[in-house]
Amino acid sequence: MQVSSATPLSTSELDRIDAYWRAANYLAVGQIYLMDNPLLREPLRSEHVKPRLLGHWGTTPGLNFLYAHLNRIIAARQQEMVYITGPGHGGPGLVANTWLEGSYSEVYPSIGQDEAGMRRLFTQFSFPGGVPSHVAPETPGSIHEGGELGYSLAHAYGAVFDNPHLVAACVIGDGEAETGPLATAWHSNKFLDPAGDGAVLPILHLNGYKIANPTVLSRIGDEELEALLRGYGYEPYLVEGDDPAVVHQRLAATFDEVFDAIAEIQRRARIAGDTSRPRWPVIVFRTPKGWTGPAEVDGLPVEGTWRAHQVPLPAARGDAAHLAQLEAWMRSYRPEELFDDSGAPRPEIVDWLPAGDLRMGANPHANGGRLTRDLELPDFTGYGVKVSAAGETVAEPTRVLGAWLRDVVTANAPYRNFRLVGPDETESNRLGAVLDVTDKVWRGRIDDVDVHLGPSGRVMEILSEHTCQGWLEGYLLTGRHGLFSCYEAFTHIVDSMVNQHAKWLKVSRELRWRMPIPSLNYLLTSHVWRQDHNGFSHQDPGFIDHVVNKSADVIRVYLPPDANTLLSVADHCLRSRNYINVVVAGKQPQPTWLDVEAAALHCARGLGIWEWASTDTGDPDVVLAAAGDVPTMEVLAAADLLHQHLPELKVRVVNVVDLMRLQPDTEHPHGLPDAEFDAIFTTDRPIVFAYHGYPWLIHRLTYRRAGHDHLHVRGYKEEGTTTTPFDMLVRNDMDRFHLVMDVIDRVPGLARRRATLRQRMVDKRAEHREYICRTGEDLPEIRDWRWPAP
Amino acid sequence: MQVSSATPLSTSELDRIDAYWRAANYLAVGQIYLMDNPLLREPLRSEHVKPRLLGHWGTTPGLNFLYAHLNRIIAARQQEMVYITGPGHGGPGLVANTWLEGSYSEVYPSIGQDEAGMRRLFTQFSFPGGVPSHVAPETPGSIHEGGELGYSLAHAYGAVFDNPHLVAACVIGDGEAETGPLATAWHSNKFLDPAGDGAVLPILHLNGYKIANPTVLSRIGDEELEALLRGYGYEPYLVEGDDPAVVHQRLAATFDEVFDAIAEIQRRARIAGDTSRPRWPVIVFRTPKGWTGPAEVDGLPVEGTWRAHQVPLPAARGDAAHLAQLEAWMRSYRPEELFDDSGAPRPEIVDWLPAGDLRMGANPHANGGRLTRDLELPDFTGYGVKVSAAGETVAEPTRVLGAWLRDVVTANAPYRNFRLVGPDETESNRLGAVLDVTDKVWRGRIDDVDVHLGPSGRVMEILSEHTCQGWLEGYLLTGRHGLFSCYEAFTHIVDSMVNQHAKWLKVSRELRWRMPIPSLNYLLTSHVWRQDHNGFSHQDPGFIDHVVNKSADVIRVYLPPDANTLLSVADHCLRSRNYINVVVAGKQPQPTWLDVEAAALHCARGLGIWEWASTDTGDPDVVLAAAGDVPTMEVLAAADLLHQHLPELKVRVVNVVDLMRLQPDTEHPHGLPDAEFDAIFTTDRPIVFAYHGYPWLIHRLTYRRAGHDHLHVRGYKEEGTTTTPFDMLVRNDMDRFHLVMDVIDRVPGLARRRATLRQRMVDKRAEHREYICRTGEDLPEIRDWRWPAP
């Protein structure tokens, strides 16, 4: 690893950067401990200390040190930079730095740069009604929470894609570095275009410990660590030490070198047209955990150990020795040199910092909505499948969508603000039309046999759902647009990331200074009902259940029943802001039910009666409802059977696109008022509901509705294997024959009168089973079924 | 990378291993395509080909090649070995090999080693009523499904922990290698004890492509790849080529070398007492995707490209050219040399294979229940907290559990069959007592300041939930026992892994030859209500919702309300088989409600009326129910308020430990019969239910119960930040005051008569808000509340 021996800082430069660092450390300690006497103008007393001491000191001094030195680079080079705080637990550090640079007080005017402001700054931290202990949406300059750990590097890459002048300085904790998502995110450098994208500077912060253990990367030795980082494709630079004066020089010299290296890589790509994959720099920053904090507490070593992780002096309020040690610790930063009489930072502490939007707490990329440009969206109705009679035209919904997305890519190419991500499935999910106009980004070796790969492009594929999600989140949080296309079952891989993004959005919406960002759009295709090649391990529709636990303000779920409704839904999602939109749609050929104008109207309503498929005239005997493409087809096939065999039965067919319409309007902004719900579903007639996912979700969404006692839901109940499409329905009792049986069983009097028809349905299921076990195929009458011509 | 130039195989050895490989390939192709004419005794005709062609050819020939050569090693060294198939899509390969070695027909006698058996073998693959396309529970010798990708290496390590004579040969696809979980699982070598554990031989199978893209690791060049693997701490050996004869010699020579290296590492650790971390070998196996398959189809290159991924001749049934090409392909393996007249493998093809339990399809470790030894469990009642009056004794539930777990560790130390895993939290979750008797395994450098680390031990901590989960799954699937202790919110990180394990268990239970394995036990502590240090990003109780979507046969959820019930639940879980047990319990000090005998009885019932807290005598005015430790405390505090202020109100207090008791007995084996449920909850009185998690789950579980219309649930509704414990309850309307309001609002007539009391509750909430914003602490009367002495 390269170790710089240069000493670029003059004594005065070193003094001022060290003073800044001391100020940031002082403010961080103050946040963790104090609720009064912020400037230590009087001796520290017990009542100045918060009763509940919460927060994480250990990582904070390192974060502050890096922030200080990045400020030097920004000021010297007028470099646009965002700071990604992998160790988000170091929240007090980022609050401290943004307060010092002034960006904090700009968004929170009540926390001014004076003694009163400092008191509030201290008190509010981890305090009821205040700010959380982590870097969070509340923290200016942040796009990354860092509480869960694992996603900093993918976020950093996402932020710099298509931002050629931006550098994301990404601090990675050595705890975080043990996570899987982080371990593979290093490979993002194979997907970065040095010409069209910005740069990521990963800074692996080895402070050696987690909560109670050393970290893996701090204990494998420099030789293995260097090999690992080289293996990931980086050029490692080591900065190590515990003497601040020495480390200041080393880090300054190393930053000078690596920012020169970044500039040179970009020059070669942008001016010289070099398309090879560069070896980007990475910094290994090895400093003590809890640096400058108490060396020992109660006779046990603290600084440089895991004991510095949270609050090193836990009894500071109650124990005089701890209190004295806290005061000595805080005074060791010499606050009187750092803050003036009013409590403001002394000019010499901050007059060298970057100004305006170059301050990392004010960088507009970290409040991405400020920079968002609406997508140019071609009129989707021009891409619709022609439908002169319901179900007449067979189409693959995602392939139809692909053509529109191709033109979305083209229309927005000049603005470089739209990307598609996915593990490996743009083609197999039949969105391949986009590859007519753009490439999949690939900076590895490209062979003659390869197609659609290029050094830059709008499509990004890596077999890591975590990385796809992290990239896209970073891209959206910096104000751009995108779509994640994924196998439905494996979207669960990012459940926890979705949680964090949903929480981020919920809090952001409550912050007036955070501008709305484009929505996180999922296209879940290759869904549970059509895992023909894969079977049981690939069957799981539960991602919907997972997301609907999050705040109703940010969650939207769409189940377009055909190609034209998918177009309408996709158009809507790409226009929206601050949501998580989950769209489930198949890729297999299937009938198209609505022409594109009717589709747009149906999607705008979110759900509705399909009168063309119904035989009631306002007073149905039974309601057949569906949500999802396969359930819709099956409900219509059941309706067809009922119309044929029970023509006197008044059947109403209802289709649901926007799942949240089912909830009461008191629970979700899209919820249908009770009166409208009752008018559609009735309050007293049996409702047989075929649903794409786990059936209980429909009960959960509707249990307060008047007609709930009459609701009977079919869905996926965890039965499956590698089998035929229709057999999947039979195994889960959602096939047309079973739906007819359900109707017969539930409409009063029918079971007795129509026992023969019911038995015929039972026989059809048996016939199906026998046929597929013999031939491996579904019965031709099932494969070829179409809605009858009018 | 080391490349062997030795040629250890004699011509006859090479011929026979190649013939075996051809046989396995032939059988794999047959499974994908044929439903008749399995031995090609007649010219191949369209009707011999399955109508639906499903499966994955691309990875299969490589898997077969490796299986063949591992057989040579096993036979030569009598080495116990399991085969972990990372590219599980290569299912037909594993089925083929186990059929050739005879282990397949032993567990499926109808699939004999003859022509009829081969026909069934072919037909059943990816066929309704047959076997799935992936390596799956149905595949003898497998402990790893491999459909989702990412977990093979962690499973392999889990399998060899405490199995010193076992080698897990772990084939890692280069697609899988891009996933996060796999990328960090390489570091498992820092947690392997060469003396007490077996060995993992990772084989990175670089066939270059995923579904539609090249793979990252195949395109970064040998230099970076070697650095990466060395950085992970391995010694890489490269085997490369496309000429089978050459690759046979290279792989044989390399296997000889690496198995010698493994033996030498183990000798040094076991005989010479070397405790340093060895550099274990890894093999990079670079062969063409779809090797020996069609070179070109329809004029496009297939072998060696992504086009070989699934079914290379998709029109073999309908298109004469494809059919002819299929026949030529299959005949290229010269089936007449491989199978005798009866259809059995010719003796010379299989007579050199390992025998009995040494066959990888018959290895008992891969059917771990065969080897399971019950844990020795000390009588948990001896560890109970003394309780002479309800709530009198304050205890930290997980700390109490820790003492019992310590003695579980000790009692089972001789059998080396119990491990605790977790990201970094054994201590912080207050299970630290176990470290009195065992270490945390750590093969990195150990410094003087470190405590409880050692080269071997029962506790395993790495900051990767994926790795923890993968290790534990591998450990359980090979028949041992364990417990995963984790932050509740971050258990979502392994949602998708839990899905796969639940699916594995569901299918395994249906296979008579698979013996039950110990349950997967989660202890979710540091739960949603007590994230004092962390706040909103760490608050998510939805893992319960996630698991209850899986098959009721395998899912159990327990919410013990105090330390003594936690002991009872833990004892039950560690005795159980084939379940996923989710236990949620706090680590903070809290009252203990039941003495240990009452706790055992309450847990055996799963739910019940707490008569000591109730004032009804069989006919309550209201039911106050709770599930979870914090809700239980709050419900009791509300009951206390009601008893004081509304002494005439007959209040019944119900506590739920086993959440699945709430479901009807038709839905879950633990479900309470309706009559019992109605007797406890009533059918017509208001039920105010305080639940640990998202409230709608309780509705979902109970919506079929007679009293559901009267059920009102409070729970976490995604409101939180860093605040006080009681404020978390207030924010989510589950505090004692709000519960009293709920009762007043719901018991007929009360709202009008007791408006003053209701207002007093509103005022108490306001008083609380004011107090915490001023002091940062909860009101003393709330912190100090105790159930009144009798």
CATH number at residue B517: 3.40.50.970
Residues of chain B contacting A52 with CB distance shorter than 8 Å: 532, 724, 776-777
Q: Name the strand (E) or helix (H) holding B235.
A: strand B234-240
**How high is the pLDDT of residue A129?**
86
Domain end position, chosen among A532, A562, A591: A591
| Distinct helix (H) and strand (E) counts, chain B | 26, 22
Q: Which domain holds residue A82?
A: 11-365
Percent of chain A with pLDDT over 90: 95
**Going by DSSP bridges, is the β-strand pair A651-656/A607-609 parallel, antiparallel, or unpaired?**
antiparallel
Q: How many CB atoms lie within 10 A of CB A513?
A: 12
What is A21-71 written as a DSSP string? Answer: HHHHHHHHHHHHHBSS-TT--S---GGGB-SS-----TTHHHHHHHHHHHH
**How high is the pLDDT of residue B534?**
86
| Residue B370 counted as domain residue | no
- Residue B202: both structure tokens together: 């990772």
Q: Are residues B662 and B705 in the same domain?
A: yes
Chain B segment 122-151 residues within 8 A of A by beta carbon are 123, 126-134, 136, 145, 147-150
Paired with B239 in beta bridges are B285
**How high is the pLDDT of residue B357?**
98
Buried-exposed string B646-684: b where 16+ CB fall within 10 A, e elsewhere = beebbbbbbbbbbbbbbbbeeebebbbebeebeebbbee
- pLDDT exceeds cutoff 90 at A334: yes
| Residue A149 counted as domain residue | yes
Cα separation, A314 vs A330, in Å, equals: 15
**Going by DSSP bridges, is the β-strand pair B590-592/B393-395 parallel, antiparallel, or unpaired?**
antiparallel
- pLDDT exceeds cutoff 90 at A425: no
ipTM above 0.85, yes or no: yes
Give the residue from A505, A754, A774 showing the smallest Cα distance to A645.
Answer: A754
Instruction: Check the CA dihedral B326-B332-B333-B337 and report its sign.
Output: positive
- pLDDT exceeds cutoff 90 at A789: no
> Could A134 and B699 be called an inter-chain contact, meaning their C-beta atoms sit closer than 8 Å?
no
Chain B segment 410-429 residues within 8 A of A by beta carbon are 424-428
pLDDT in tens, A7-60: 999 999 999 999 999 999 999 999 999 999 999 999 999 999 999 999 999 999
Q: How many CB atoms lie within 10 A of CB B15?
A: 14
Name residues of chain B where pLDDT drops below 50. Answer: none
A88: pLDDT confidence band, cut at 50, 70 and 90? confident
Residues of chain A contacting B723 with CB distance shorter than 8 Å: 127-129
A40: left (phi over 0), alpha (psi -120 to 50) or beta: left
- Determine contact, residues B530/B630, Cβ cutoff 8 Å: yes
Q: Are residues B149 and B291 in the same domain?
A: yes
For B714, the 3-state DSSP assignment is: strand
Cα separation, B208 vs B306, in Å, equals: 8
Minimum CA–CA partner of B277 in chain A: A220
**How high is the pLDDT of residue B532?**
84
List the single residue in A133, A178, A228 with the smallest CB-CB distance to B722.
A133
Q: Are residues A38 and A72 in the same domain?
A: yes
Domain end position, chosen among B535, B563, B591: B591
- Determine contact, residues A359/A78, Cβ cutoff 8 Å: no
> Could A214 and B447 be called an inter-chain contact, meaning their C-beta atoms sit closer than 8 Å?
yes
Cα separation, A643 vs A757, in Å, equals: 13
> Could B546 and A551 be called an inter-chain contact, meaning their C-beta atoms sit closer than 8 Å?
no
List the single residue in A148, A231, A449 with the smallest CB-CB distance to B305.
A449
Give the residue from B742, B715, B740 showing the smallest Cα distance to B728.
Answer: B715
Cα separation, B749 vs B760, in Å, equals: 18
Q: Residue written as tokens 């396309």? A: B133
**How high is the pLDDT of residue A328?**
98
**How high is the pLDDT of residue B789?**
86
**How high is the pLDDT of residue B146?**
82
Cα separation, B251 vs A770, in Å, equals: 47
Q: Are residues A579 and A611 in the same domain?
A: no
| Residue B599 counted as domain residue | no
> Could B776 and A50 be called an inter-chain contact, meaning their C-beta atoms sit closer than 8 Å?
yes
Domain end position, chosen among A365, A392, A416: A365
**How high is the pLDDT of residue A532?**
84
The two most distant CA atoms of chain A are separated, in Å, by: 98
Q: Are residues B579 and B618 in the same domain?
A: no
Cα separation, A620 vs B682, in Å, equals: 35
Q: Are residues B148 and B56 in the same domain?
A: yes
| Residue B374 counted as domain residue | no
Cα separation, A461 vs A420, in Å, equals: 8
Q: Are residues B570 and B635 in the same domain?
A: no
> Could A52 and B224 be called an inter-chain contact, meaning their C-beta atoms sit closer than 8 Å?
no
CB neighbour class for B439 (10 Å; exposed up to 12, middle 13-18, buried from 19): middle
Q: Are residues A625 and A567 in the same domain?
A: no
Cα separation, A663 vs A659, in Å, equals: 8
Taking only Cα atoms into account, the Rg of chain A, rounded to an integer number of angstroms, comes to: 30
List the single residue in A128, A227, A233 with the smallest CB-CB distance to B776.
A128
Give the residue from B659, B645, B653 showing the smallest Cα distance to B616.
Answer: B653
Asked if the C-beta of B727 comes within 8 angstroms of chain A's C-beta atoms, the answer is yes
List the single residue in B145, B231, B447 with the smallest CB-CB distance to A231.
B231
Residues of chain A contacting B54 with CB distance shorter than 8 Å: 532-533, 722
**How high is the pLDDT of residue B332?**
98
Q: Are residues B233 and B322 in the same domain?
A: yes
A3: pLDDT confidence band, cut at 50, 70 and 90? very high
φ, ψ of residue B267 to 5 degrees: the values are: -65, -45
List the single residue in A231, A466, A545 with the smallest CB-CB distance to B227.
A231
Q: Are residues A226 and A137 in the same domain?
A: yes
> Could A463 and B175 be called an inter-chain contact, meaning their C-beta atoms sit closer than 8 Å?
yes
Question: How many CA atoms does the CB half-sphere of B566 hold within 13 Å?
Answer: 33
Q: Are residues A253 and A358 in the same domain?
A: yes
What is B61-79 written as a DSSP string? Answer: HHHHHHHHHHHHHHHHHT-
For residue B658, the 8-state DSSP code is: B
Residues of chain B contacting A228 with CB distance shorter than 8 Å: 227-228, 230-232
**How high is the pLDDT of residue B343?**
97
Chain A segment 552-611 residues within 8 A of B by beta carbon are none
- Determine contact, residues A422/A524, Cβ cutoff 8 Å: no
**How high is the pLDDT of residue B14?**
98
- Residue B175: both structure tokens together: 């697609």
The average pLDDT across A343-367 equals 98
> Could B444 and A180 be called an inter-chain contact, meaning their C-beta atoms sit closer than 8 Å?
no
The tally of domains found in chain B comes to: 3
**How high is the pLDDT of residue B109?**
97
**How high is the pLDDT of residue B593?**
98
| Residue A2 counted as domain residue | no
| Residue B677 counted as domain residue | yes
Chain A segment 302-361 residues within 8 A of B by beta carbon are 304-305, 310
Residues of chain B contacting A211 with CB distance shorter than 8 Å: 424-425, 427-428
The average pLDDT across A342-361 equals 98
Q: Are residues A624 and A586 in the same domain?
A: no
**Residue B748's CATH number:** 3.40.50.920
List the single residue in A232, A462, A536 with the smallest CB-CB distance to B178.
A462
Residues of chain A contacting B499 with CB distance shorter than 8 Å: 489, 492, 540, 542
| Residue B5 counted as domain residue | no
- Determine contact, residues B430/B396, Cβ cutoff 8 Å: yes
A379 residue type, one letter? D
Asked if the C-beta of A233 comes within 8 angstroms of chain B's C-beta atoms, the answer is yes
Paired with A238 in beta bridges are A284
